[in-house]
């Protein structure tokens, strides 16, 4: 079995351990996911499905003309000798293809968000339980040694008792704001539009909704489905939480007025009930596609004794509290002030000044090893699970509990009101 992602000297793989995969949806993330899986010894690419002819051509340019390509994912599921599929389509197809793949006896790596609607969540969970197939959802931070270190530190009391999480993911560039390039040969002749929109009411061909699908609610889940899901996944892993009980989101289309119907700026507030050993916490998330700077993303876990920050690594800043509560007595009469201070100093004697009087300001920092990739680690965890048949690190239950508050954020923004959610039963209240 392969070792930790990023470790060198990976062992040779016997023919019996070879894993043949197929990618369904070879856009940006599908291409990246495929490369990550193929970097693992013993993994081979057997087939590719994409509705755009140009991507099928590109797949054969990259991996050889012998590669099987198709516009119909069902042809891939019908082929023997394929062990697992990567589902990296537009969000509206995630659940349907994942369910069909598991029912066809294939293991599944599904890009986040796992589902496009709340109603689909339990359907995917039920299909995985019934078929017994391996299914991993693609929020790579769940496999990150950085996030696992943060989990260890908080559980050990590094910042005292957690009470709040602040996280953001801001971008100030067109590609990051879903403005994907549209190929000049895009047309109904090169794109299977009818198959793409088969689950929707009939709508006219529109290359924007094919190549920039995240910006449109019928096809994607917007900034929440793309980026909030990552922040939820990391928060749930670190706090060992099942999710929020209340969701409120606001925002709007402030800059990218390109026909999209999903916001380019979103703020979310979330009430998290106590879970396991963790107390209740409040979570605030932000995505801004016109933030005035370069792309940035951080998570701040605020506790009673300090703050843990996740960026390029993990940093813990411990802020010791004052030894005394202090006093505000200026408005009291002189006699009462004297009486107050006498009683105060009896309770809090003034310590002699010495080097021991200095309050320590402790900062601990933990950095990623050079060349480390949590994305590679996530795919390695999936491939190891396919080989061993042991549970993955992000199964459909975890994936749905990360996707649901993101989808509820969209509903809250659209409805203009808070949404209540039962994170245990995974049902809207």
Q: What's the sign of the alpha-carbon dihedral 190, 196, 201, 207?
A: negative
What residue spans define the domains of the chain? Answer: 15-142, 143-182+196-321+360-372+395-428
Task: Give DSSP secondary structure letters for 166-197.
Answer: EEEEE--STGGGT-----TT-STTTB-HHHHT
Checking if the pLDDT of 8 tops 70, the result is no
252-278 pLDDT per residue, tens: 999 999 999 999 999 999 999 998 888
Mean of the pLDDT values across residues 77-98?
98
Checking if the pLDDT of 225 tops 50, the result is yes
Mean of the pLDDT values across residues 28-48?
98
Checking if the pLDDT of 12 tops 70, the result is no
Query: Rounded to an integer, what distance in angstroms lies between the CA atom of residue 281 and that of residue 244?
Result: 9
Work out the pLDDT band at 13, boundaries 50, 70, 90: low
352-386 pLDDT per residue, tens: 888 877 777 789 999 999 999 999 999 999 999 99
Looking at residue 2, its pLDDT comes to 32
Checking if the pLDDT of 60 tops 60, the result is yes
Kindly report whether the peptide bond that precedes residue 113 is cis, defined as omega within 30 degrees of 0. yes
Looking at residue 291, its pLDDT comes to 83
Q: CATH second-level architecture of 143-182+196-321+360-372+395-428?
A: 2-Layer Sandwich (3.30)
Checking if the pLDDT of 394 tops 90, the result is yes
Query: Rounded to an integer, what distance in angstroms lies between the CA atom of residue 81 and that of residue 44?
Result: 11
Whether the CB-CB separation of 87 and 98 falls below 8 Å is answered with yes
The pTM of the full predicted model, rounded to 2 decimals, is 0.93
Mean of the pLDDT values across residues 120-135?
98
The correct CATH number of 15-142 out of 3.40.50.720, 3.40.50.300, 3.40.50.10140, 3.30.160.40 is 3.40.50.720
Where is pLDDT greater, at 21 or 2? Answer: 21
278-337 pLDDT per residue, tens: 899 999 999 999 987 778 899 999 999 999 999 989 999 988 778 899 999 999 999 999
């Amino acid at each position: 079995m392969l070792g930790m992602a990023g470790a060198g000297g990976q062992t040779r793989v016997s023919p019996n351990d070879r894993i043949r995969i197929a990618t369904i949806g070879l856009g940006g993330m599908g291409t990246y996911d495929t490369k990550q899986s193929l970097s693992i010894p013993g993994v081979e690419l057997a087939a590719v499905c994409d509705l755009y002819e140009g991507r099928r051509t590109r797949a054969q340019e990259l991996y050889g003309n012998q590669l099987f390509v198709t516009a119909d994912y069902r042809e891939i599921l019908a082929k023997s000798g394929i062990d697992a599929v990567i589902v990296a389509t537009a969000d509206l197809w995630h659940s349907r293809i994942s369910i069909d793949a598991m029912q066809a006896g294939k293991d599944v790596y599904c890009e986040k968000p796992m589902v496009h609607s709340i109603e689909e969540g339990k359907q995917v969970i039920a299909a995985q339980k019934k078929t017994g197939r391996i299914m991993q959802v693609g929020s790579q931070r769940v496999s990150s040694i950085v996030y696992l270190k943060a989990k260890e530190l908080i559980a050990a009391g590094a910042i005292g008792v957690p009470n709040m999480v602040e996280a953001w993911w801001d971008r100030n560039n067109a590609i990051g704001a879903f403005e994907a390039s549209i190929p000049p040969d895009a047309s109904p002749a090169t794109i299977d539009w009818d198959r793409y929109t088969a689950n929707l009411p009939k709508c006219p061909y529109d290359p924007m909704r094919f190549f920039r699908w995240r910006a449109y609610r019928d096809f994607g889940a917007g900034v929440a489905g793309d980026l909030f899901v990552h922040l939820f996944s990391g928060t749930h892993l670190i706090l060992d939480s099942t999710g929020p009980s209340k969701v409120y989101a606001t925002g709007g289309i402030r800059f990218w007025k390109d026909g999209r119907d999903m916001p380019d700026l979103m703020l979310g507030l979330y009430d998290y009930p106590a879970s396991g050993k963790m107390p209740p916490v409040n979570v605030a998330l932000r995505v801004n596609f016109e933030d005035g700077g370069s792309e940035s993303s951080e998570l701040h876990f605020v506790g009673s004794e300090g703050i843990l920050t996740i960026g390029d690594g993990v940093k813990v800043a411990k802020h010791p509290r004052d030894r005394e509560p202090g006093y505000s007595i200026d408005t009291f009469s002189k006699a009462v002030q004297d009486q107050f201070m006498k009683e105060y100093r009896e309770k809090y004697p003034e310590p002699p000044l010495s080097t021991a009087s200095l309050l320590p300001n402790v900062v601990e920092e933990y950095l990623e090893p050079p060349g480390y990739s949590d994305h590679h680690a996530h795919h390695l965890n999936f491939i190891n699970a396919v080989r061993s048949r042991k549970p993955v690190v992000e199964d459909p239950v975890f994936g749905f509990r990360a996707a649901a508050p993101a989808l509820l954020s969209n509903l809250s923004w659209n409805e203009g009101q808070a949404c209540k959610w039962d994170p245990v039963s995974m049902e809207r209240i």
